């Protein structure tokens, strides 16, 4: 098999023409991904309009440690704001050492987490809603949350 050496010359010519900068233009410019327009803004902290804790009876709830099972004493916590941020990360609710990940949106401005028992939502405990690592809401659980 005979290979025409001119084929390599044309390939070299085309590649060098595509990669060289025109006269007067800096050829060592950083890649576009390296040109940042400043720090990424953190999400706005939401003000909470209402927090409702409702006894559901029999429902599948979380235990706050990654487990989920059918419970006869499940509770839902509905957290209402003027609207939740559109984020790529899923929201989570942290109450003390327990973190809840399964959620629904009963309305566009309300997020609901279902827990296995009322003891996981102690009255007066501080709760935080996060999207990934970003905190978007902080509030205190209402008094009388437990039966």
**Rounded to whole angstroms, how far apart are CA atoms 77 and 16?**
63
Domains held by the chain: number: 2
Cα end-to-end span (Å), the chain = 87
Residue 39 lies in a domain: no
Which is it for the CA torsion 102, 140, 116, 65, positive or negative?
Answer: positive
pTM confidence score: 0.68
For residue 14, give its domain range: 5-34
67 vs 8, more confident: 67
Q: Percent of the chain beyond pLDDT 70?
A: 67
Least Cα distance to 101 among 88, 115, 118 occurs for 115
- Looking at the fold, whether 73 and 22 belong to one and the same domain comes out as no
Q: What percentage of the chain has pLDDT greater than the value 90?
A: 52
For residue 62, count other CB atoms closer than 10 A to its CB: 23
- Tens-digit pLDDT profile for residues 116-125: 999 999 999 9
Q: Note the pLDDT tens digit of each residue in 11-28.
A: 555 656 555 555 665 555
């Amino acid at each position: 098999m005979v290979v025409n050496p001119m084929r390599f010359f044309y390939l070299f010519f085309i590649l060098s023409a595509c990669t060289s900068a025109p006269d007067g233009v800096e050829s060592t410019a950083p890649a576009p991904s390296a040109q940042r327009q400043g720090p990424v803004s953190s999400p706005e902290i939401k003000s909470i309009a209402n927090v409702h804790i409702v006894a559901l009876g029999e429902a599948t709830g979380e235990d706050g440690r990654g487990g989920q099972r059918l419970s006869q004493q499940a509770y839902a916590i509905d957290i209402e704001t003027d609207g939740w941020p559109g984020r790529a990360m899923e929201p989570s609710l942290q109450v003390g050492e327990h973190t809840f990940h399964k959620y629904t949106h009963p309305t566009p401005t309300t997020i609901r987490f279902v827990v296995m028992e009322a003891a996981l939502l102690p009255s007066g405990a501080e709760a935080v809603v996060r999207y990934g690592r970003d905190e978007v809401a902080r509030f205190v659980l209402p008094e009388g949350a437990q039966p």
